Structure formats: C-alpha cells, structure tokens
Amino acid sequence: MATLHQNGGARAAEDVNGNGNGHAAAPAAEWQFARAVKDGALAAAGDRMSIRAVRFKISASVDARDPRPVLPLAHGDPSTFPAFRTAAEAEAAVAAALRTGKLNCYPAGVGLPDARRALAKHLSSDLPYELSSDDIFLTAGGTQAIEVVISVLAQPGTNILLPRPGYPNYEARAALNNLEVRHFDLIPERGWEIDIDSLESIADKNTTAMVIINPNNPCGSVYTREHLAKVAEVARKLGILVIADEVYGNLVFGDSPFIPMGVFGHIAPVLTIGSLSKRWIVPGWRLGWVAACDPKKILQETKILTSITNFLNVSTDPATFIQGALPQILENTKEEFFKRIIGLLEETSEICYREIKDIKCITCPHKPEGEAEFISFGGDP
Amino acid sequence: MATLHQNGGARAAEDVNGNGNGHAAAPAAEWQFARAVKDGALAAAGDRMSIRAVRFKISASVDARDPRPVLPLAHGDPSTFPAFRTAAEAEAAVAAALRTGKLNCYPAGVGLPDARRALAKHLSSDLPYELSSDDIFLTAGGTQAIEVVISVLAQPGTNILLPRPGYPNYEARAALNNLEVRHFDLIPERGWEIDIDSLESIADKNTTAMVIINPNNPCGSVYTREHLAKVAEVARKLGILVIADEVYGNLVFGDSPFIPMGVFGHIAPVLTIGSLSKRWIVPGWRLGWVAACDPKKILQETKILTSITNFLNVSTDPATFIQGALPQILENTKEEFFKRIIGLLEETSEICYREIKDIKCITCPHKPEGEAEFISFGGDP
C-alpha cells in the first residue's frame, strides 16, 4: 500500500491550503463508501467462484520449503510452456497490424468490420448456412463473451441452466447479475453427456437459456451429433436459448469429431462463444466472440442482438490491432500448426490419464477426447 | 443476418435426426428469452447514453450525396490522423513483447506484477507519497476502469455525484448497475470549475463518491491546485470517495499545470483512472488503470481494494503482451514526443477556438487548456 515519502508528504500537504495536514486518519466508519463492501455478490463471485482466485489461493498454500515439484494440473494455459508457442503466421499478423500504425484507434463496439466478416466466413465453413458479419460480435476474450450473454439475458425472476461440472465463470457472472442459476448434471458413465431429462425437470417458464460447453471444460468430453440434436430439441421444447461455449472447439483427438452447436440453430437459436485463446494458444491476446447461429433470425426479431450491441457500446473492446490481424490469422494459419498442437495435447493427455489411473484417491471415469482444464475428478479420498 | 445456403441448409437439417427441418419459424413470443429485452437499463445505457452509439447515429445521418466535407469534431481519437502517430519507442516495446512469445499467457486479474510496479513508480513522481504496486489495478482501457469503480461502489439506495458536462460513460455504467446519479454543475464563467456549494446541496448520507474529470472531458479545462484542494475538503466533509478521471492527464498547454488529484489523497481517498489511450494516442491498445491514491490506507481498511480485486478476477484483462511492454513504454518514451503532441494539440485547439468564435450559434465561454473531446457548447441557435 501507499507509504509517505520520508520528507515530501507533510510538506506537500501544507503547500496546498494549510489545513490538509491537520486531519487524523479517519476511522473507516466515517466514510460512507465503506458500506459498499459487503459479503455480497461481488465478494462471492470474485473470491469463491473465480477460478483465478481459487488458483491463486492454492498456489499461495504451497509450502515453498517443500522440495517436491508442483505440477500445475489446473493451469488451463499451455502458452507458458515453450512447446505450445502460437503459429508464426498469427504472431506475424499481429506484429504487422501494429506496425501499420493505423490500428491504434478506437474500434467499433461490436468489432472491426473486416474482422467480423472474416470470422463469419470462417465459422460458416462448419455450418449448413452462412453467417454474415452482423452475426458476429467481437469480445475481449471468452470472459467478456460470457459477460455479454449473461448480462443481456439477466432479468429479475429469470433463471439459467448451467452444467455441473462446468466452467465457474458462468456462476460468477450470474451472481454479479442476480441471475438465478439451476444446475443440470453431466453423466460421467455416458461420456459426461447432459442428463437431458433433468433439464426438463429443473426448467420452468422463467428459464431463459442453457449453457453447453463442448468440448467440455473441465471434463474434456466431446459431444456427438446425435446428442447435440437432442439438446437442441429440448431447448426448442422449453423455449430457451442455447449458449454454446466452444472455446475449445476443434481441439479434439478422440473418436468424436467436433460438431458446432450452430449446426442445430434452425431448431433453437444458438449464441456461440469462441475465442482465439485455446486453439491458437494465446489466451493473453484477449480476442473472443459471440456468434449468433440462428438462421431463422429469432435473435434479431426478439432484439437480443440489439441488446448485445447496446451492451458492447458501453463496454471495453479487444485491442484494435489484434482485431485487425484476425483475417490474416484465420486465413494464414497452416493446418500443420493445428495438427502439431493437437498431437501434443493428445500425448500429454494420454500420459496424464495413464498415471492418474494409478492414483487411488482419483478416478477418471471417461478418457478425455478434447483439451480441457482438468481431466479428472476426486473420488473417495 | 444469417441466410441459408441455397442447397445446404435443409439437407444438413435432415442429416441430423430427421425432424430438425420440420419446425416452422417460431414466433418470438414462444421464446422465453424474448422477455430479456425491455426498454430498460441496457437499452438506455447502450443506445441513448453511449457516446459511441450517438456518434454512429450522427455519422449515419450524414447525407453521403452532400459534397460538403464532414469534420469529425467529436471524434475523440486523434490516432486516425497520421500526424498523431504514437511514440516509436512505445510501438517497439509492444512489438518486442509480442515477439518474445512469453506473454501470450493469461495475466493475473489485477495486472502483471512488473507492469504494476512500473506504473506505481511512474505515477508516484507527481505525488507527495509513493504508490506501491498493490495500489495499481490494470484495466482494459479507461472504459473498464470506469466499470470497475462504478460496479464496486454500486449498492441499492446509494448515489454518486457526476459532473455536468461530463463523460457519458459514467451515466451509462451507473444505469447498468442501478446506481442513482446526481449531477453537479461546472461553471463556464469560472473556467468550468465545480460548483462546490452545489455538491453539498445534492449529497446525502447515501452518497458514496464523486467524479472529477481533469483535464475535463468535454470542456478541456484544467483545475488549479487550490480548486482541487477544495474538492478534497468537501469530499472529506461529505465522507465520500473521489474518483479522479485523469485519462487526459498531462495533456495540458495553457497556464495551469496538471496537478493529479492524488496529491490530496491524504484529505480524502482518491481512485485515479488513467490510460495510455490519450497521452500515447493509442486508445485501441486498451490499457488503462485504477490507482488507489490513498496514503492513509482507508481504501484498504474498508476493503474497497479487495472488492476491486474480486471484480477484476471475474473480468477480462488488457492483452498480456501490451501489459508486458508497459515498463519500457513508461521508461523509454522521450519528452520530445510529448512536447510535439502537445504542440500539435495546442495548435489545432487555437484554430478551432478562433474559428468557432465567428460562428454565431456556438459559444465557447472558456478557452480550453487541455485536450478534450469537444471544445464548445451550443448557445441559442
């Protein structure tokens, strides 16, 4: 915290108007803003639900005198290991965009037009319809994408369905927005598939959306086409939106190919959350997106897309020159890069799976087929 | 919006599970998320209070067939003009940080330790006490800095005092957080100084903070040391926090030197909002900060700093490699760069002031002495 200069502090205070230095340190109760800090949503979200806060706490609890090495199994960020450096083409594209000097300006709230257009084209290649640039909203990483969709949907009295296990930033952001959370279970014995029946039992007329994470974080499971179709059908039946978190999209190495939820956007509208972070191993670049996968234009008609635009107009943005590099990143990154990264992930996942099986207090009910933050869950200790 | 591929859409839907294509387009009322969109806080904040939305509306209202040139007086972003290119040292520092490949990782929520330390040292040079790195919270531009302080202070039943004229993002963010806004006037005849008496008349026991923008945006006025001391004294009397928006800090060219509000942090605690955006002309880099200028550690005692940490732990961040470049940017940028930029701003401001005086429907009661978004206000049309 701040400390007074040994000589300068008092003198400077006297300089002002002669009485600045006369105050004793005020006790906290005199300050009206002190009431702003309660054990409320902010503390709960930031302290107990934030994956970062939990990680920092775990790190801080390690005894530095203990000679045993600490393996960061819950690191979720391979970029710190030299083998996982991003594609040379991607790095070059960002450096070139910076060097033009023309992309230091404020971006449009929803993102640079060229970047939105390039991403619409890129995502459309896996869909049975074409996205336009108006369907794309660039965000400062997947974190801001989650913030946008939760903030836009949160209304008093409504609730949202979240997977358990899942990524706790959804719970944290819902707590900040006073959006009620209801959890549905993933079934380990069925490859962490969603318990579809439970969705119907916990939803009601105030349910606004459900979140599906595919490949799942933290389980590393990849959903089949058939399972995703069932999810879309139940969302349609319940009248809810599907938020498809696909930040690990395409990072798969098992038998199941990655199918984007947007393939079923004609059944129920889908807001897809994506990011450069995982596939390009650049979480620190903070470039993510929300894509409206909704060929029937229901999100446009219900003005959900207008709300997203409104929200982004008063929010921060991804750095403009990184946005400016997006068309080149998407176009120039070679298939060999992705193959090499997926190969590395598969190899390390195999080692982890094999070794964890021998640890008695941990069970791993389903071998991961996608990159994920954690690959196992505790059983009886 | 999304459009179906001419051939692919229906086929792909049939591929799925045979019944995906059977749905008619659902009317909006069937979808439960439709109720999320009301003419509520989000629409008001994004549409009517967002400076971007207003700018886009004005731009869209220009008749493209009209041959007269359009001058972007309300642009607020000189970076698009080639004369206002950022310092070569700053650009080189960011490129070098990117090229290391070591700063693609997730940053800590409050910012990279080295960047916080460098900024604490930089800001301390204008203060009568020393900030430590724990006083610094890096944000994704000034926009996220505003979001942090408003979100942390907003509690049901409390209110915040904002200047009129001021920067409308404060009103927008307060609306999103259901924080009541009360306006105090700036007095044009007194160089847009704050009407200190009015502060006392509009504040009550539920007032949590006041915002002071210096140099003022949009007025371009720079407050004297004596005026800032009076502000601190009234904040102390009212028991409220001072949020000092100094994103235009040091960009002054008149008779008044720039004095940071933190100089008076011993009278009332100050949260200073700053950014690389304006002084380095890189708003698109999205690197800002909140600095706790509070030598008596009241913000620490009242756990306001803990709340800021909690909030940032569930929020997005400035790009890691740009954070990583901050120490070099602060250390290596030459005084000549700032002198040249301020010279350019003064020159263009002089021209603007001179020409505007001849326009009958506009009055400019006080010549600007600091860089600002607008330099004039309408009188009788």
Structure confidence at residue A75 (pLDDT): 64
Distance CA A93, CA A326 (A): 8
Give how far A258 is from chain B: nearest CA, Å.
14
- Residue A318, by phi and psi: left (phi above 0), alpha (psi -120 to 50) or beta? beta
Its domain, for residue A307, covers 88-332
Cβ–Cβ below 8 Å for B293 and A2: yes
Does B46 map to a domain? no
Q: Note the pLDDT tens digit of each residue in A277-329.
A: 999 999 999 999 999 999 999 999 999 999 999 999 999 999 999 999 999 99
**Total domain count, chain A:** 1
In three state form, how does the secondary structure of chain A look?
CCEECCCHHHHHHHHHHCCHHHCCCCCHHHCHHHHHCCCCHHHHHHHHCCHHHHHHHHHHHCCCCCCCCCCCCCCCCHHHCHHHCCCHHHHHHHHHHHHCCCCCCCCCCCCCHHHHHHHHHHHHCCCCEECCHHHEEEECHHHHHHHHHHHHHCCCCCEEEEEECCCCHHHHHHHHCCCEEEEEEEEHHHCCEECHHHHHHHCCCCEEEEEEECCCCCCCCCCCHHHHHHHHHHHHHHCCEEEEECCCCCCECCCCCCCCHHHHCCCCCEEEEEECCCCCCCHHHCCEEEEEECCCCHHHHCCHHHHHHHHHHCCCCCCHHHHHHHHHHHHHCCHHHHHHHHHHHHHHHHHHHHHHHCCCCEECCCCCCECCCCCCEECCC
Nearest residue in B to A131, CA atom: B2
Give how far B179 is from chain A: nearest CA, Å.
12
Give how far A361 is from chain B: nearest CA, Å.
30
Question: Over chain A, what is the mean pLDDT?
Answer: 86
Does A293 map to a domain? yes
Does A239 map to a domain? yes
Q: Which of A43-47, A53-57, A106-110, A330-334 has the highest mean pLDDT?
A: A330-334
Nearest residue in B to A155, CA atom: B36
Give how far B361 is from chain A: nearest CA, Å.
30
Structure confidence at residue A38 (pLDDT): 60
- With tokens 């909030």, the residue in question is B311
Does A218 map to a domain? yes
Which pLDDT tens digits describe chain B residue by residue (381 residues)? 444 443 333 333 333 333 334 444 555 448 888 887 765 677 777 777 777 777 777 777 888 899 988 776 656 788 888 889 999 999 999 999 999 999 999 888 899 999 999 999 999 999 999 999 999 999 999 999 999 999 999 988 999 999 999 999 999 999 999 999 999 999 999 999 999 999 999 999 999 999 999 999 888 899 999 999 999 999 999 999 999 999 999 999 888 899 999 999 999 999 999 999 999 999 999 999 999 999 999 999 999 999 999 999 999 999 999 999 999 999 999 999 999 999 998 998 888 888 888 888 877 777 778 765 444 333 333
Cβ–Cβ below 8 Å for B140 and A30: no
**A/B interface, count of CB pairs below 8 Å:** 417
Higher pLDDT among residues A67 and B117, named by residue: B117
Residue among B103, B269, B315 whose CB faces A143 most closely = B315
Cβ–Cβ below 8 Å for B104 and A285: yes
Segment A11-29 shows an average pLDDT of: 42
> Chain A partners of B177 at a C-beta cutoff of 8 Å?
none
**Range name among A87-91, A230-234, B16-20, B202-206 with the lowest pLDDT average:** B16-20
Cβ–Cβ below 8 Å for A5 and B128: yes
Residue among B13, B36, B176 whose CB faces A314 most closely = B176
Does A72 map to a domain? no
Structure confidence at residue B309 (pLDDT): 94
Give how far B188 is from chain A: nearest CA, Å.
24
Segment A25-43 shows an average pLDDT of: 69
- Cα dist from B270 to A33, B133, B233, whole Å: 12, 16, 12
Residue among B82, B101, B286 whose CB faces A316 most closely = B286
Q: Note the pLDDT tens digit of each residue in A153-164.
A: 998 899 999 999
Is residue A51 over pLDDT 80?
A: no
Share of chain A above pLDDT 90, in %: 63
Does A340 map to a domain? no
> Chain A partners of B172 at a C-beta cutoff of 8 Å?
314
Cβ–Cβ below 8 Å for A1 and B297: yes
Cβ–Cβ below 8 Å for B173 and A322: no
Structure confidence at residue B355 (pLDDT): 84
Q: What is the CATH number of the domain that holds B145?
A: 3.40.640.10
Nearest residue in A to B49, CA atom: A314
Strands B270-275 and B288-293: antiparallel
Give how far A237 is from chain B: nearest CA, Å.
10
Give the number of other CB atoms < 10 A from CB of residue A355: 10
Q: Note the pLDDT tens digit of each residue in B203-253.
A: 999 999 999 999 998 888 999 999 999 999 999 999 999 999 999 999 998
Question: For residue B14, which of A263, A81, A196 has the smallest C-alpha distance?
Answer: A263
Distance CA A258, CA A273 (A): 15
Nearest residue in B to A159, CA atom: B33
> Chain B partners of A154 at a C-beta cutoff of 8 Å?
36
User: A333 falls in which pLDDT band (50, 70, 90)?
Assistant: very high
Cβ–Cβ below 8 Å for B20 and A154: no
Q: Which amino acid is at A114?
A: D
> Chain A partners of B99 at a C-beta cutoff of 8 Å?
91, 95
Residues sharing a CB contact under 8 Å with residue A11, sequence separation 6 or more, in sequence order: B128
Nearest residue in B to A85, CA atom: B101
Nearest residue in B to A81, CA atom: B102
Does A27 map to a domain? no
Cβ–Cβ below 8 Å for B295 and A107: no
Cβ–Cβ below 8 Å for B283 and A3: no
Residue among A21, A226, A302 whose CB faces B33 most closely = A302
Does A361 map to a domain? no
Give how far B253 is from chain A: nearest CA, Å.
22
Is residue A375 over pLDDT 80?
A: no
Cβ–Cβ below 8 Å for A151 and B42: yes
Cβ–Cβ below 8 Å for A155 and B105: no
Structure confidence at residue B375 (pLDDT): 40
Distance CA A356, CA A379 (A): 12
Structure confidence at residue A41 (pLDDT): 73
Nearest residue in A to B156, CA atom: A36
Cβ–Cβ below 8 Å for A307 and B94: no
**ipTM of this predicted complex?**
0.88
Cβ–Cβ below 8 Å for B266 and A21: yes
Give how far A91 is from chain B: nearest CA, Å.
7
> Chain B partners of A108 at a C-beta cutoff of 8 Å?
52, 56
Cβ–Cβ below 8 Å for A16 and B98: no
Cβ–Cβ below 8 Å for B206 and A266: no
Cβ–Cβ below 8 Å for B316 and A28: no
Structure confidence at residue B372 (pLDDT): 57
Is residue A381 over pLDDT 60?
A: no
